[in-house]
Structure 1
Amino acid sequence: MTLQGREQSSSLPLVAAIDLGSNSFHMIVARVDQGEIRPVERLGKKVQLAAGLNQNDELTVAAMKRGFSCLEQFAQYLSGNTFQAVRVVGTNALRKARNSDIFVEKAQSILGYPIEIIAGREEARLIYLGVAQTQSDDNERRLVMDIGGGSTEFVIGERFEPKLMESLHMGCVVFTDRFFGTGELTPQRFQSAYYAARLELLNIEQSFTRLGWVDAVGSSGSIRAVSSILQAMGESDTITRESLEMLKQKVLKFNQIGRVRFPGLKPDRQAIFPAGLAILMAGFDALGIEHMHYSDGALREGVLHDMLGRDRHEDVRERTINALMSRYHVDKQQAFRVMNHARNCFAMIADIWGLGEGDLELLSWAARVCQIGLDISHTQYHRHGAYLIDNSDLMGFSKREQQQLALLVRGHRRSLSKSLLSGWPKAVSRKLIQLIIMLRIANVLSHGRDDTLPEYSISVSGSTISLFFPEEWIEQHPLTVANFDSERSYLAKIGFKLMVA
């Protein structure tokens, strides 16, 4: 465990970001001062979760124990301080592991904070945000490359805004196991790793070179190791194709990955350095990179700045929802009509059901995008919408948030089954069904596209939900009454009773 830069105690609020990477776990702690993030502590430990995936893509007990041991150290630091916000994200190894839920449940109990497993492109977005904070605030387009243990991210962006993002299934830990698993280091094995990376890069070469960039920036361990070695050798810290070729020739002289030694190369990176070098060389050649410099910013710094942005109401999730609405030609007036009714329902019964601000956010987003499936077909459009949300890259959303959003859209109309919520923890399942019920009521109230609804009220007692309208209004709106009659039968199938009076 490494510790750097402890500051004196301060009254400024603390925030923390934890990155559960495929090779290492990292935590950065910072203070928020006048809207700026000032790091005060960095903790990190090599865990190699990706190396602990067996043939069935399940994390082994040994790999989990390594992770838990590291998190126990993080938890001790967290428990000894007061934090304004803590965010924990998991990357490729946890995305890939079929039993990640077992690891996550235990890890959350150790840390005392929820863990988000983020999608590859969301990881790329956060990496870019972390790197951008370390660069000059100009309008030049930049390429960012980040080689992790299980995946490699590529992003082109301007200032703090990513324009093109990709996450490829290649990383220094995975490639070490795949090409250097016996420990033998030969030109043939190195070339096999290089060409495997080139094959992965074929998917993005054209789009990235077409968009273009001015500067190339590298982040995270493998690229940091290359930069550190070059500096220790008295070379320029700017990485070039020539300097990479020189390092390759020196690496191949070791014959075994366990013998790789360079000034500036940390012991825990020695065995995985050849694989990282092969991936970096493939990136240079595939994209025509001429030179690259290293940035200290990476995923965890991006997570911190993303948290700060949310506090300032610059939540990227809002932009994502608006983009979905535009892409699938949502009737915005109707979407906000549904959202307003949903929020009204929430205000009346949230306290009874024990729902909070995060639940209101999820409900509001679902209300605004529940119509996106109409762009495909009116028939079963709630299913189409759920599919689009579940299978899209939604910037700013964790996989868990994305799945919950898709579930609300799927459940907002027509048939409803308890099996829809199977696999979710009991407490989460209860909240999701409560949000679905409010969204369904809001959808019925908005069906007539009428902005002149009377004052109505909702009460909840056990599993009974009661809606109250003025008597004369009920008599004048038989279609709404009929819709609620249908809704009553749907909700009865999941154990709820709807009364309209």
Structure 2
Amino acid sequence: MKNKAAVIDMGTNTFHLLMVALGEGGFETLYKEKVPVKIGQGGIQQNLILPDAQKRALHTLHHFQQLIRGEEIEPVFAFATSAVRNAENGSSFVKLIRQQTGIAVQVIDGEREAELIYKGIRMSGCLDSGNALMMDIGGGSVEFIVGNKDTIHWKGSFEIGGQRMLDRFHYHDPISREETDKLYQYLSQELHPLLAAIREFRPSQLVGASGTFDTLTDIYLASRQEKKRREVHRHRLPIDAFYEISDRLIQLPKKERLEIPGMIPMRVDMIVVASCLIRYILRQIDSQDMLCSTYSLKEGALAEILEGVGVNSDLTVGIGE
């Protein structure tokens, strides 16, 4: 494996860096890191990236830049999603990033984001010939895809991400019954296109990608005194186990949620509303368990690089001086 590449996913809550060596039909992870930048914090409801959030973002991207240089990686694929694409100052922020770090950021729409997530999930081995409902809960948006290992039947992106739900519905600690009821009512109103797609294509499996689903898997494995293996990218979470975990997340205050084995501080707030969203989705499909993919957008981008399609030279940029 001689060729190398780096992918940066600038999510609303978390920035991810993945550096790999590319080989015949696959890749080897050289290094990966995630940082809770929270660029949507404080400004997401006003469609702004606030100055403090910009400072955190630039600091993290400078850090990523140094790591990429250290590995002597030239092609860098950087993607920005919900918070940046919806921000009134998103374009100026992207220009500032290029000026200060040399990183050219591709701001992608929700449809493109869903496509990359699908390709990442497919690479994880979570899909077969049956129709599945895939979801990735970001801080700003949530992407849903209905499809199988061969094709996408339907995809959609909804601006109902964890930070947005948190700001709008989670005021008490723990979250109140009134707040969860309002959240479920809101989801019923916002997700009509998804519900129509579920009725049409009848997915029988729920597949969650990365983020919240990683943490749910960690909590489940910790409860069984098992450790997650780096080489495994597909985890099965029984529905009963999910509801048991979700009940605790909803009922416990933050201090006690932090003490749950497998919990990480960067997820402790958003995971409450995210678990409510998953509960709502599970009511819509007849899934006996949940599959959790450790692969998502970043790996989807790598899948396209390996295929030689989609991610092209227009998105490839070296790190500037």
State the TM bucket, normalised to the shorter chain: 0.7 to 0.9
Match for 1:127: what amino acid?
Answer: I
Instruction: State the distance in 1 between where 2:250 and 2:267 align.
Output: 16
Deviation at 1:35, TM superposition (A): 3.5
SS of 2:22 mapped into structure 1: strand
- Tell me what 1:124 maps to: 114
Deviation at 1:36, TM superposition (A): 1.9
Which of residues 282, 285, 288 is equivalent to 1:284?
Answer: 282
Match for 1:152: what amino acid?
Answer: V
Instruction: State the distance in 2 between where 1:131 and 1:281 align.
Output: 21
Instruction: State the distance in 2 between where 1:286 and 1:235 align.
Output: 31
Pairing 1:89–2:87 present: no
For residues 295-324 of structure 1, the C-alpha deviation after alignment (integer angstroms, 9 at most, x for no partner) is 1111111111122223xxx4489xxxxxxx
- Tell me what 1:431 maps to: none
- Tell me what 2:263 maps to: 265
Instruction: State the distance in 2 between where 1:106 and 1:289 align.
Output: 45
- Tell me what 1:19 maps to: 9
Instruction: State the distance in 2 between where 1:151 and 1:29 align.
Output: 25
Structure 1 gaps of 5+ residues are: 1-10, 318-356, 359-396, 398-501
Instruction: State the distance in 2 between where 1:260 and 1:47 align.
Output: 21
Runs of 4+ in 1 over 6 A off after TM superposition: none
Q: Which has the higher Rg, Structure 1 or Structure 2?
A: 1
Q: Report the CA distance shift for 1:196/1:181 in structure 2 as closer, same or farther (over 3 A).
A: same
Q: Normalising by the residue count of structure 2, what TM-score does the alignment of the two structures yield?
A: 0.86
- Tell me what 2:244 maps to: 246
In the alignment of these two chains, the number of paired residues is: 306
Pairing 1:188–2:185 present: no
- Tell me what 2:319 maps to: none
Instruction: State the distance in 2 between where 1:238 and 1:138 align.
Output: 14
Residues 136-175 of structure 1 correspond to what in structure 2 (within 5 A)? Answer: 138-159=128-149, 161-175=151-165
RCO greater where, 1 or 2, for CA within 8 Å and sep 6 or more?
A: 2
Match for 2:265: what amino acid?
Answer: P
- Tell me what 2:33 maps to: 43
Residue 194 of structure 1 contacts residue 281 of structure 1 at CA under 8 Å; is this kept in 2?
A: no
Q: Normalising by the residue count of structure 1, what TM-score does the alignment of the two structures yield?
A: 0.57
Pairing 1:198–2:195 present: no
Q: Report the CA distance shift for 1:242/1:188 in structure 2 as closer, same or farther (over 3 A).
A: farther
- Tell me what 1:494 maps to: none
Residues 315-394 of structure 1 correspond to what in structure 2 (within 5 A)? Answer: 315=310
SS of 1:28 mapped into structure 2: strand
Deviation at 1:284, TM superposition (A): 1.2
For residues 145-188 of structure 1, the C-alpha deviation after alignment (integer angstroms, 9 at most, x for no partner) is 11111111111223253221111121112111111245552222
SS of 1:64 mapped into structure 2: helix
The Cα RMSD (Å) is: 2.5
SS of 1:44 mapped into structure 2: strand
Structure 2 gaps of 5+ residues are: 227-234, 316-321
Residue 52 of structure 1 contacts residue 62 of structure 1 at CA under 8 Å; is this kept in 2?
A: no
- Tell me what 2:222 maps to: 232
SS of 1:238 mapped into structure 2: strand
SS of 2:290 mapped into structure 1: strand
Which of residues 210, 215, 218 is equivalent to 2:205?
Answer: 215
Instruction: State the distance in 2 between where 1:35 and 1:244 align.
Output: 34
- Tell me what 1:402 maps to: none
Residue 144 of structure 2 contacts residue 194 of structure 2 at CA under 8 Å; is this kept in 1?
A: no
SS of 1:108 mapped into structure 2: helix
Pairing 1:100–2:90 present: yes
Q: Report the CA distance shift for 1:100/1:69 in structure 2 as closer, same or farther (over 3 A).
A: same
Residue 150 of structure 1 contacts residue 174 of structure 1 at CA under 8 Å; is this kept in 2?
A: yes
Residue 127 of structure 2 contacts residue 148 of structure 2 at CA under 8 Å; is this kept in 1?
A: no
Residue 90 of structure 1 contacts residue 115 of structure 1 at CA under 8 Å; is this kept in 2?
A: yes
Instruction: State the distance in 1 between where 2:246 and 2:132 align.
Output: 26
SS of 2:47 mapped into structure 1: coil
Instruction: State the distance in 2 between where 1:99 and 1:189 align.
Output: 31
